[in-house]
Structure 1
Amino acid sequence: MNLYASLLRTGVPAAVGWLVAVALRHGLDLDASAVTGVLTPIATFIYYGVFRFAEEHLSPQFGWLLGYTKLADYPIR
């Protein structure tokens, strides 16, 4: 389950970041690949940060917006 949770909580923000970058790109008159290359990690970072903060400080249910409500747990070996 840890692998599943960690993959979802990484993949969902990355996909949302890409979608936001693609959507924003259509309103800008710039090179498409350059804009997407810059905006995707920025949008991903902001999306993850906002909902991780909300999950920790408001309600654990905000975890669904990261793909999974349970934090990935990495046991020490």
Structure 2
Amino acid sequence: MTIYDTLASLWRTAVPIIVGTLVTVLAHAGLNVDSAAAIAWLTAAFSGAYYTLFRLLEAHVSPAWGWLLGLARPPAYPAPAASPTVAPPVKGA
């Protein structure tokens, strides 16, 4: 995996977290909830929902939806190297 792909994967993870935090702050502004746990759960829920929604739209509707994850192109992950096959032992040898 290239440095670009590594940084792209990190950025595409960070953007939903940032958006989830902003949505939580905005949602919390209208609520009188003072629970740190509630804020943490809301942030995680909004972040996960945001990422899932736009990742599915990117994969099934149009790659342009990837811009809402921070980059329009998902990182490319190389295929794992094929492991060498080992022949089974020959019986009677």
TM superposition score normalised by structure 2: 0.75
Residue in structure 2 matching 1:58, options 38, 56, 61: 61
Gaps of 5+ in 1: none
Alignment pair present for 1:20 and 2:32:
no
Correspondence list, 1:1-77, <5 A: 1-75=4-78, 76=80
Structure 1 runs of 4+ aligned residues shifted over 4 Å read none
Query: What's the CA shift for 1:32?
Result: 4.9
- Give 3-state SS (helix, strand or coil) of 2:74's partner: coil
Stretch deviating more after TM superposition (7-16 or 66-75): 66-75
Gaps of 5+ in 2: 82-93
- Give 3-state SS (helix, strand or coil) of 1:17's partner: helix
Contact 1:25 1:35 in 2 (8 A): no
Name the amino acid aligned to 1:44. S
Higher helix share: 1
- Give 3-state SS (helix, strand or coil) of 2:10's partner: helix
TM superposition score normalised by structure 1: 0.89
Name the amino acid aligned to 1:10. T
Greater Rg by CA: 2
Q: Give the number of equivalent residue pairs.
A: 77
